[in-house]
């Protein structure tokens, strides 16, 4: 079996095409575009790339998309002050603080900064209020990556209700909200992590496997029931020739690209899984673009809710 490719890139473009006219209508009605502020502290190269993509996407749909930069030497107080100003800025509907924050800000910096974002502007869905509302199944701003996975499954007509789902990874930003969203859509969900015993056997039970681990190619054929849907959230930059060679056979164009560039972006799912799975998201071009599309969706929802003076309406 060669798995059907779940093209997140194409879907994300479709979604942006749906959002743009709504943004134009918002501008006409309220005399301003929805506003997104992205806060970037320091100069982490991967974060620079992600932030650039988010700003570009925001501007493409017609948002005001501001980059708010702070140097790596900024203090936690500087950052909290910036977030407080953005909370009060009436032209800004969505605030995203790009993680990871520089280590120098301290071990609890991310928690403190995410906690400080006004819940109605929390387009990443990380604030405790929005997380709590998600747990209770109440309308909220939902983390973009798991929301993007649900959107992808829905638009690709992959049934979730009654299916067995295995989420590998239990982080606050991906694994946990992913499991909740699948459960709310009536899947029977198993959450796995680094202490799970016989992970391949547990995963093999599932009709839908979501890998959010951060380990290149960890999910091999042994993890996948024939015909299962496999969603690869992982985004790993491989620079080790041995790892690259363990993922791509000699002659594979991506191995050639690795040798050319010295690195290659891969997921948590081994390419061999395409021989077993029924459907599979590629990396790049799967969950990543859907995550950015959901940031656009969340920002528009936040803008509409703020402009109407009400609560954020129910999303997917």
- Name the site residues for ligand NAP (rule: CB under 6 A): 145, 168-171, 173-175, 192-196, 199, 212-215, 218, 233-236, 287-288, 291
Q: How far is CA 155 from the centre of its chain?
A: 17
* Residue 93 bears catalytic tag: no
With respect to ligand NAP, which residue has the nearer C-beta, 62 or 177? 177
Tokens 């969505």 sit on residue: 94
Q: Tell me the C-alpha distance between 206 and 177, whole Å.
A: 18
- Minimum CB distance to ligand NAP, residue 145 (Å): 4
Token duo for residue 310: 């009400």
- Minimum CB distance to ligand NAP, residue 143 (Å): 9
DSSP assignment letter at 221? G
Q: Tell me the C-alpha distance between 122 and 129, whole Å.
A: 10
* Residue 54 bears catalytic tag: yes
Q: How far is CA 178 from the centre of its chain?
A: 10
Tokens 């209508």 sit on residue: 25
With respect to ligand NAP, which residue has the nearer C-beta, 86 or 233? 233
DSSP-assigned beta bridge partners for residue 280: 5, 230
Helix and strand tally (H, E) in the chain?
11, 11
- Minimum CB distance to ligand NAP, residue 219 (Å): 9
* Residue 268 bears catalytic tag: no
Strand pairing report for 264-266 and 236-238 = antiparallel
The CA-atom distances, in angstroms, between 185 and each of 130, 160, 163, 178, 290 are 18, 6, 10, 11, 19
With respect to ligand NAP, which residue has the nearer C-beta, 33 or 169? 169
Of these residues, 7, 22, 66, 98, which one is catalytic?
A: 98
- Minimum CB distance to ligand NAP, residue 6 (Å): 13
Q: How far is CA 148 from the centre of its chain?
A: 7
DSSP-assigned beta bridge partners for residue 231: 210
With respect to ligand NAP, which residue has the nearer C-beta, 57 or 306? 57
- Minimum CB distance to ligand NAP, residue 161 (Å): 25
Q: Tell me the C-alpha distance between 147 and 152, whole Å.
A: 9
Of these residues, 22, 54, 121, 232, which one is catalytic?
A: 54
DSSP-assigned beta bridge partners for residue 70: 41
With respect to ligand NAP, which residue has the nearer C-beta, 157 or 195? 195
- Minimum CB distance to ligand NAP, residue 243 (Å): 14
- List residues with catalytic annotation: 54, 98, 124
């Amino acid at each position: 079996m060669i798995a059907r490719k779940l093209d997140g890139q194409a879907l994300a473009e479709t979604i942006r095409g749906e959002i743009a006219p709504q943004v134009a209508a918002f501008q006409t009605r309220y005399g301003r575009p929805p506003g997104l502020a992205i806060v970037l502290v320091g100069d982490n190269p991967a974060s620079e790339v992600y932030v650039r993509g988010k700003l570009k996407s925001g501007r493409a749909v017609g948002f005001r998309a501001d980059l708010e930069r702070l140097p790596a030497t900024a203090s936690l107080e500087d950052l909290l002050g910036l977030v407080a100003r953005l909370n009060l800025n009436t032209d800004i509907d969505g605030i995203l603080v790009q993680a990871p924050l520089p280590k120098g800000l301290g071990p609890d910096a991310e928690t403190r900064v995410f906690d400080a974002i006004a819940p109605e502007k929390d387009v990443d869905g990380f604030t405790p209020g929005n997380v709590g509302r998600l747990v209770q199944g109440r309308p909220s701003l939902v983390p973009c990556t798991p929301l993007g996975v649900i959107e992808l499954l829905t638009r690709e007509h992959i049934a979730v209700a009654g299916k067995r789902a295995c989420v590998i990874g239990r982080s606050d930003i991906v694994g946990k909200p992913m499991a909740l969203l699948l459960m709310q859509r009536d899947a029977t969900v198993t959450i796995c992590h680094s202490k799970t015993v016989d992970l391949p056997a547990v995963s093999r039970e599932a009709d839908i496997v979501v890998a959010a681990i951060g380990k290149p190619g960890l999910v091999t054929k042994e993890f996948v029931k024939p015909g299962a849907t496999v969603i690869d959230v992982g985004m790993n930059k491989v620079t080790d020739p041995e790892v690259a060679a363990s993922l791509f056979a000699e002659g594979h164009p991506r191995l050639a690209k690795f040798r050319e560039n010295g690195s290659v972006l891969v997921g948590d799912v081994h390419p061999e899984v395409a021989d077993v799975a029924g459907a599979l998201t590629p990396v790049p071009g799967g969950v990543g673009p859907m995550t950015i599309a959901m940031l656009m969706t969340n920002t528009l929802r936040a803008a509409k809710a703020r402009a109407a003076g009400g609560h954020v309406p129910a999303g997917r």
